[in-house]
Copies of this chain bind each other. A is one copy, B any other.
Amino acid sequence: MTALGTHVTDSQLINEVETALNQALADHLLAPKLREAMQYAVLGGGKRVRPVMTLRACEAVGGRRQDAIPAAIALEMIHCFSLVHDDLPALDNDDLRRGRPTTHIAHGEALAILAGDALTSVAIEIALDSPVRAADIARELAAATTAMITGQVYDTLAGFPGNLPAAERLRLVHDNKTGALIRCACRMGALCGTPDESRLQALTTYGESMGLMFQVVDDILDETQSTEHLGKAAGKDRDAGKLTYPSIFGIAESHRHVAHLLEIALSALQPLGNAAEPLRLTAHALATRTK
């Protein structure tokens, strides 16, 4: 971890996020069965990419990490809600997620629907507990959630406006389905850490590039890796005839696009100096991840 220098490690941040998630779900007034299903959905592993990014973004603009904890865990709850609902039989119909049964397999479909619903409203409640700019944080989160759902509709049910070419349809899916939450992760972190508009803008650009890059890498992995390796069904997008980067541009061009997006992300961080070092490492790690 020498590259991180004086910064805390990702695993420490993941621990902080999981402790806070645990606490928030244990403390909230909820029907016991609902709580169990929500805990199953949220606490079953996952890379915690988004909340870690929120904490890193806050520190990158000179903020105090603990001020971004509510925003970070609220965002992770929204991410987990989207996975629970996307996995439902009426949507992607996935039985496996993070190497174990999906929430509707483990807790039944009714509870999976309601747990996803409650993760959204509890996430907003938590975002509104943010010690800094609570309304702005909740606004970012709610807008990103709406965008993500719009992306899911495009991805699953198409119905694109007008006669968009495939590449633009794909962009519309990616910007919304994956991009919105990752952009939101970075913007919320920045908002918790600084009132400075230019630093917010830098992290918005970083977040947008990372969001798109994350999805292109996901598409590549779906094409090239096994179900066993990924811990979720591989090759599904291709089998379902979904728009993906590799299906439109090929694997080689997809890899080039990843490199290009990485460059944009790194260049946006340039003015932030050493405080943004962990975000640079995250960018490299996400560009080269194999699962």
Contact = CB atoms under 8 A, between A and B. Distances in A.
B121 A156 contact: no
A120 to B, nearest CB: 5
A108 B89 CA distance: 12
A75 interface: no
Contacts of A151: 31
A28 interface: yes
A287 interface: no
Leading 7 A-B pairs by shortest Cβ distance: A33-B159, A90-B109, A121-B145, A31-B153, A124-B142, A135-B135, A121-B146
Copy number in the complex reads: 2
Interface stretch (A8-16, A110-118, A211-219): A110-118
A156 B90 contact: no
The binding surface of chain A is classed by DSSP as helix
22 contacts: A28-B146, A31-B150, A31-B153, A31-B160, A33-B159, A81-B117, A85-B113, A85-B114, A85-B117, A88-B113, A90-B108, A114-B149, A114-B152, A117-B145, A120-B121, A121-B142, A122-B142, A122-B146, A124-B124, A124-B142, A125-B139, A128-B142
